[in-house]
A and B are shown apart, each in its own frame.
Chain A
Amino acid sequence: MTVRYRKERLDRGIKARCEDMFALSSYREMLYLLLPRVLPVVALLTFPLLKGVVGLYWEKVLVITCAIGLLALSWDLMASVGLVSLGQALFFGAGAYLTGFLNNSLGWPCFLTIPCGTVGGALFCTFLLLPVLRLRGVYFAIVTLTLPLLLTRFIEASKILGGNQGLSALSPLPNIWFEIYVPVLAVLVCLFGFRRLINEDYGLVLQGIRDNDLAVMSGAINIYKFKAQAVFIGGVAGAFAGAFMTHYYQFVGMPAFALDYSILPLTCAVLGGVGAFAGPTLGAFILVPLSEALRAFGTLRVVFYSAILIICIVGLPEGIFHYIQRKYHQFERMVEVG
């Protein structure tokens, strides 16, 4: 008689759990919880130290990855209030141009321009989006898609901020460590900060607005105020990416409003998994390096890139992060049947 097996899945995990409090009883359980959080942090922090081994090229890829990761995080925060944006380039470009202007015209050093560009850029975008916060779904998406395009043409036509030449010869960042560690830290701060925020009561209100804004309104909460705050918080992350990259490239021009900065964060979020912040970050850390690694294929690069993207999205529609998370919390073992 043949023995047949069947795969059994069991939920792993810590049973004595109450909201945010974990009853930890052993090092094993502590590791179980800490490992997935600490491992990426350690990996990100040590990667720059290995620049002798991996080469400066990949360190530069890391910086770009972080910038896209920040945009993806800002996309996800806006999506968690139900504002689906197709225009993260708006935040990137606003932060970038403001920083460039402050450095070029006023001669401020990068320690001043980056914070001012970040906050100022986010404020500018929030005020710009204020009238359309009552829009939802595709209507909001279309407005955000057009705004960066509008600003590009406005700069080109009015010849302000360097017109289509952009502003060049901006002051460089002080040193290589600053160059690499600042974006890495920014990603980590945003990732864990946003995760914390969304689990607070404040974040609950944001999620409530996404699920059912009428019910939130009947709960005596001004939803437009919360939406504007979410846009600002998300905008800070996006504008910081722009502000930093301006000094990194020592140039700011119309490419700052390019469609890439709108579409790529969205793709990262969809690939990695919407709604947990770790997903979009993971998506960025897969897509951007992948795009670089495929350079060896020359002109076929986009073909391979797209093919991998399609396979991932069709195969794991919930997103890579949610898949990994689910698997991490499950046992799989073979049990005899019959």
Chain B
Amino acid sequence: MDNAEGQVILKVESTSKRFGGLLAVDKVSFHVEKGELLGIIGPNGSGKTTLVNLITGFVRPDSGKVFFRGSDITGKKPYHIAELGMARTFQMVKPFYQLPAFKNLIIPLYSPRVKKLRGGKYGERDDVAIDLLEEVGFERDSFVPYKVASSLPHGYLKRLELARCLALRSDLLILDELFSGMSMSEVASTLPIIERLNGEGLSIIMVEHRLRELFRAADRVITLNFGRKIADGSPQEVMESETVKAAYLGTEAEG
């Protein structure tokens, strides 16, 4: 928002996705500007994660288009979209449980995108990985980056997801409920990392249930309910919107 150029990095044009009888995403359109932090909120089952999957290519939309940095990425494979510079975390953490935490990052670091950006040989990537983990709060002094992923608490695994995205050096970061399952102190230490990344010019989409933290960080918030976009505006506007309140609290009005 405060970006002077106001370039659009991601543009979603009336995408829809139907799963059997359920219209999970219904003609949703929105855009993300360069350097913007966009929040997506909505009650459970309102289609937030499906929307993320549509953007990142894990699910193919039934209709509509997705443009990333001006090019059409609708229906492209997830690894292709990631290579263009869009990274995402998973709501359900997906670490490689048998590997040490820092070895988890070798996989994105080995991708063609990162090789091109950063180079690196066998062994050198380990140092990069450990630096990245330190950045998201893995204490190097107590050897947390060396611990096997299966032995780490949930909050660390969530931040491992974040580090895996950072490893890609992407232009757009999509965080799918990063804070769910994190303790208050973990949220308190992770939020500044995200704010700093955003301050450095990284565009971020945050799907979140922790509204207080989201409203603090976001430049703009959109709200989904039953797959439809019901609000789009500054955190202040969305917070005060009657339709959003109705969607969350379930009064007589319905979307």
A204, B106: Cα distance in complex, Å: 7
B30 within 8 A of A: no
Within 8 A of A (CB), among B69-118: 77-80, 82-83, 87-88, 90, 94-99, 103, 106-114
> Smallest CB-CB separation from B97: which chain A residue?
A211
Residues of A within 8 A of B123 (CB): 19
What's the minimum C-beta distance from B168 to chain A, rounded to whole angstroms?
6
From B78, B97, B110, B112, A218 is in contact (CB under 8 Å) with B78
A217 to B79, CA, bound (A): 5
State how many residues of chain B have any CB contact under 8 Å with chain A.
Answer: 34
How many residues of A are in contact with the other chain, CB < 8 A?
20
Q: Are A221 and B108 in contact (CB under 8 A)?
A: yes
Contact flags A203-240 to B (C-beta < 8 A → 1, else 0): 01101100110111111111100000000000000000
The answer to whether the Cβ of B67 comes within 8 Å of any Cβ in the partner chain is no
Report which of A19, A221, A222 forms a contact with B107, defined as CB distance below 8 A: A221
Number of A-B contacts (CB under 8 A): 83
Cβ–Cβ contact B164 & A212, under 8 A: no
Q: Which chain B residue has the least Cβ–Cβ distance from A204?
A: B106
Assess the B96–A205 pair: CB atoms within 8 A.
Answer: no
CA distance A138 to B163 in the complex (A): 33
- Rounded to whole angstroms, the CA-CA distance of A321 and B94 in the bound complex is 30
Q: A217-B82, A220-B114, A221-B108 are in contact. Are A204 and B88 (CB under 8 A)?
A: no
Contact A214 B90, beta carbon cutoff 8 Å = yes
- Among residues of B, the one whose C-beta sits closest to the C-beta of A19 is B126
Complex CA–CA separation, A220 to B112 (angstroms) = 8
User: Contact at A204–B110, with CB atoms within 8 Å?
Assistant: yes
Q: What 6 A-B pairs are tightest by C-beta distance, nearest first?
A: A219-B108, A220-B82, A220-B111, A215-B94, A220-B83, A217-B78
B interface, CB within 8 angstroms of A: 56, 58, 77-80, 82-83, 87-88, 90, 94-99, 103, 106-114, 122-123, 125-126, 164, 167-168
Q: Which residues of A contact B (CB under 8 A)?
A: 19, 200-202, 204-205, 207-208, 211-212, 214-223
